[in-house]
Structure 1
Amino acid sequence: MAVHYGRDEVAAKETVEAITGAGGRAFAVRAELGVPGDVDTLFAALEPEIDGLDILVNNAGVNASASIEELTPELYDRVYAVNVKAPLFIIQRALPLMRDGGRIVNITSGVTRIALPGTIAYTGTKGAIEVMGRTLAKQLGPRGITVNSVAPGFVDTDINADWLRGDPEAQAYAAGFAALGRVGTPEDVADVVAFVTSADARWVTGTTLDATGGSAL
């Protein structure tokens, strides 16, 4: 298993150790996304280590907290480069390596269903990913490759750390969105991803699985 990271080498090594400690094989691959040559850098490190691909999960992303009045062209370009352009061209590069019957999962967001004006650019990137997934599902169906999206809600991850962690009021606000009454954990979302990459989800493709804990119902 390849564990990609952009900057946090420590976290990548911890993930590799968790996988190998459970009896799996894993290695870390560093490539900053959203910069020129990002896909080439990623696959230059990946390809010598593998003989094919069965599962691709596009999980990397950056936030863009800005309303329409605050949004700048520079911020727009940055968030689209990481959240849309990089996954698209990673998939393009991965397809010749992917075995028939493979799985592609794109991490989107509940913001495609829940209107949050303060994240208009971020919302747009996640909408683009969902439409891209449906289109690719149609194209790759004859190969038995499924393409799905998983849409988390508020989750306690690094992308939300600057406003969520350590702030009881922010945590209460985020938990208040979910019907299940709490902030999501990485494990909540990872289990949904694990399902959609499994044989049990062989007849599921071109769709978005809501993993928001019932947010904004």
Structure 2
Amino acid sequence: MTDHSITGKTVLIAGGAKNLGGLLARDLAQHGARAVAVHYNSDASKAEADKTVAAIEAAGAKAFAFQADLTSAAAMEKLFTQAKEAMGSIDIAVNTVGKVLKKPMVEISEAEFDEMNAVNSKTAFFFLKEAGRTVSDNGKICSLVTSLLGAYTPFYAAYAGTKAPVEHYTRAASKELGERGISVTAIGPGPMDTPFFYPAEGADAVQYHKTAAALSPFSKTGLTDIEDIVPFIRFLVSEGWWMTGQTILVNGGYTTK
């Protein structure tokens, strides 16, 4: 019988230095992962990556940090190669990379669109490609999207629009990799209480989002807290393996499909 526990497994997390990715890296180490590879984007995130590596090692797992701009296919291939060489295998791969832009469509420049597409869509595609080539049989792959995929709203066309293809990439990858026992999922949190959220929102919008979910009164911030998302990802990359090809919105009742 295939072992779907996290114990003894190796993990690669793109965007794993801080916020949701950093908390997930720590959590999986605490739940028995043998080794965790933490990707971070630039020198600005190195200090946070080093803290996450130290926390993983304190939990008893091996830890490795790799810096890369993952908007190129070559960089993505190199990351997976380095991570596999360091850990010996990659059993679980999670992509938390993303960029938010809140702006009317008529004001979005071509350069802004190209950047959003590169970070949210292209990166996700080549992450799934390399995961498909590298992740062990019976492995697990999970990508972060957004609950805005289920919302009817203005101003997020470039953000939700460049995250939307990941849903299709996930379905295709799950079909193509299923014969190897690999499950592939995507998870869409609601607006999260992280430093990425607030710069894109005005005070009125922040207040709205803090009250928009059905369970907002029971959240410490009113928003989706990263502590509430990590257990869902942990489940999907372990005992929840039978769910594949799905995009799950986890947002306390902020929106649904």
- What's the counterpart of residue 46 of structure 1? 83
Q: 1:138 and 2:178 equivalent?
A: no
Task: Name the TM-score, length of structure 1 as normaliser.
Answer: 0.90
Q: 1:92 is matched with which residue?
A: 129
Where do residues 118-133 of structure 1 align in structure 2 (5 Å cutoff)? 118-133=155-170
Shift of 1:27: 1.3
Matched, 1:15 2:52: yes
Shift of residue 189, structure 1, vs aligned partner: 1.2
Q: Which residue of 189, 202, 209 maps to 1:152? A: 189
SS at match of 2:101: coil
SS at match of 1:104: strand
Is contact 1:163-1:170 (8 Å) kept? Answer: no
Is 2:42 the counterpart of 1:2? Answer: no
Q: 5+ residue gaps in structure 1?
A: none
CA shift, 1:156, in A, is 1.1
Paired residues in the alignment total 214
One-letter amino acid of the counterpart of residue 114, structure 1 = A
Structure 1: how far apart are the matches of 2:73 and 2:170?
24
2: distance between equivalents of 1:103 and 1:36? 21
Q: % of aligned pairs identical?
A: 32
Q: Structure 1 141/91 Cα, relative in aligned 2: closer, same or farther at 3 Å?
A: same
- Runs of 4+ aligned residues of structure 1 deviating over 6 Å after TM superposition are none
1:170 to partner: Cα distance: 4.7
Is 1:115 aligned to residue 152 of structure 2? yes
User: Structure 2 vs 1, CA of residues 168 and 118 (structure 1 numbering), >3 Å: closer, same or farther?
Assistant: closer
Partner of 2:225: 185
| 2:100 and 2:200 in contact (8 A); partners too | no
C-alpha RMSD over aligned residues? 1.9
1:211 maps to what in 2?
Answer: 250
SS at match of 1:2: strand
Which of 231, 235, 243 is matched with 1:195 structurally? 235
For structure 2, the residue ranges without an aligned partner over 5 or more in a row are: 1-35, 217-221
The match for 1:74 among 93, 103, 111 is 111
**How far apart, in 1, do the equivalents of 2:146 and 2:224 lie?**
12
